[in-house]
Amino acid sequence: MDKIKYPQPVMLLTGLIYRNIEIVKSAKIKLIDNFGEIYHQSIPIPFNFTKHYNKEMGEGLMREFISFKKLINVNNIPKIKLITNETESEFADSSNGNRQINIDPGYINAEKLVLATTKNYAHRLYLADGIYAELTYRFIKKSFTTLEWTYPDYRTKEAISMFNGWRKWYLEELKQNRTQINADLGD
């Protein structure tokens, strides 16, 4: 019989798509209230990889990624996705209910980057509470690598390089804080 091995804590990240800078600032405050201090923050870039969000959110969208300093228990990902969905709803346009910000949480560990979603597809695994997990990158030969379904904005050299750097920080955090992490695994 195999011995059960529990996963190490993971680094929480979120991808943000938005148009209004004031809304993203307010949403970040809400995210900090829920998940703690932001540790990494990408430079906002134009989100011109797809027009998927334009009908609901308008033109001129921006893309940004953030990560949080406190490592989390991977079992919390469904709950975190539900919280980010609530946050999106809080900032929705009161006249039509359309989202003004898209917040997609996920995590990095040593082997992969995973995103949480409410949509089921063949390559997504059910977690809990209507939330699925999508493997976005695998770590192979010293770098994250994309898969056939990896979103276009995650395929850029800049995104892969940034997430490789975040992974390096994550591994250092695991080394430096192993005692505290083991105590916090029940979070």
What is the mean predicted confidence (pLDDT) over 91-115?
95
Q: What pLDDT does 179 receive?
A: 46
**Maximal CA-CA distance, the chain:** 58
SS (H, E, C) 3-59: CCCCCCCEEEEEEEEECCHHHHHHHHHHHHHHHCCEEEECCCEECCCCCCCHHHHCC
3-state secondary structure of 72: strand
Q: What pLDDT does 178 receive?
A: 67
Tokens coding 151: 């979103």
Q: What is the pLDDT of residues 34-84, one digit of tens each?
A: 999 999 999 999 998 878 888 888 999 999 999 999 999 999 999 999 999
Is residue 25 pLDDT above 60, yes or no? Answer: yes
What is the mean predicted confidence (pLDDT) over 161-166?
98
CB 105 within 8 A of CB 84: yes
CB 77 within 8 A of CB 107: yes
What is the mean predicted confidence (pLDDT) over 155-179?
92
| pTM of this structure | 0.91
- The rounded distance, in Å, linking the Cα atoms of 81 and 133 is 10
Q: DSSP states of 111-138 as a string?
A: SEEEEEES---TTEEEEETTEEEEEEEE
CB 28 within 8 A of CB 14: no
Instruction: Name every residue whose Cβ is closer than 8 Å to that of residue 179 and which is 6 or more positions away in sequence.
Output: none
Tokens coding 96: 């039509």
pLDDT cut 90: percent of the chain above it? 83
Q: What pLDDT does 183 receive?
A: 47
Domain ranges within the chain, ordered by starting residue: 11-149+162-177
